[in-house]
Structures are given as structure tokens and as C-alpha cells.
Copies of this chain bind each other. A is one copy, B any other.
């Protein structure tokens, strides 16, 4: 890729440098705030919350492992380990898939639905406090567009 070569010799402008520093600090701290709050109030790491939230939206609260991993953009390995843990907590169950004996289906249990319901409001409060209450409506739109632009750029390595 030619752009890659160009980028190698390029430097960041002062504007880019200060933006990168501010962005990195802000996103790191938001991540930490979310994780800390979720962990303190509900004993759920954010990554696991996202897994359960995805299941909640699925028909019958069920999804195949691979499908779930792809939806969340995480590795199968990671999902497998996480599922072990969530199963141990009783929030999730693994069922065999009758149509393909290689496949497994993860299913949110009633306890899982409850845990999610209890964690939800606090999590949203964290988001509002740390993100949305700090931004104007226009900034929220800008952040959306910026994020879409950033996202499209990723994951395109050979």
C-alpha cells in the first residue's frame, strides 16, 4: 500500500498531537469509568455486559457462538472464555445445536435477564454523566460522524 509508505515518513501536526492526546485520555478514562461502575454496582465487566446485551436483543435470547462473536467483533476464543465465566455465574447457558453438531448455542438465562435489567439504569447513568451530559447536541452528531469515519478505516490490513 502506498499510503503506508507515505505515512511512515510523516509527522503529526501540532493540532493532531494535541487531539490524539486529548482523545486517548478521554476514551481511556471513559472506558475505565464504565468498567468500574459496572463492576462496582453489578459485578459485570463491560465486555460481558455487551455479550449479554446482544443476547437480549436476539430472538429467544439465543445465538450461535460464531454468530455472536462476529456481531460483537470479538474472537471466538474470547467469547468461549467469557461464556465459561458467565455460565458459572448462571447468567448464560450453552445448548447443543441439533442442526449442526459442531455448533453451540448460547442462551441468556432468566437470572441473566434480571442481572442485565438491574445493571442497565446505572450503566446508562454512567454514559450520560460521563459522555452525553458533557456534549451539545451538535457535538453528539459530530462524534457520531467522526466515529463512523474512523470505523470504516479499520480492519483492512492484509
Do B151 and A121 have beta carbons less than 8 Å apart?
no
Main secondary structure of the interface of A (DSSP, over half): helix
Q: Bound complex: CA of A131 vs CA of B125, how far in Å?
A: 29
Q: Bound complex: CA of A128 vs CA of B137, how far in Å?
A: 28
- Of the candidates B73, B127, B152, B154, the one whose C-beta lies within 8 Å of that of A20 is B127
20 CB contacts below 8 A, A to B, read A4-B125, A9-B121, A10-B124, A10-B125, A12-B124, A16-B140, A22-B148, A23-B143, A25-B147, A26-B154, A29-B73, A29-B151, A33-B154, A130-B150, A130-B153, A130-B154, A131-B150, A134-B153, A135-B150, A142-B146
Closest 10 A/B residue pairs (Cβ): A7-B125, A22-B147, A26-B147, A26-B150, A19-B144, A29-B154, A26-B151, A134-B153, A7-B128, A23-B147
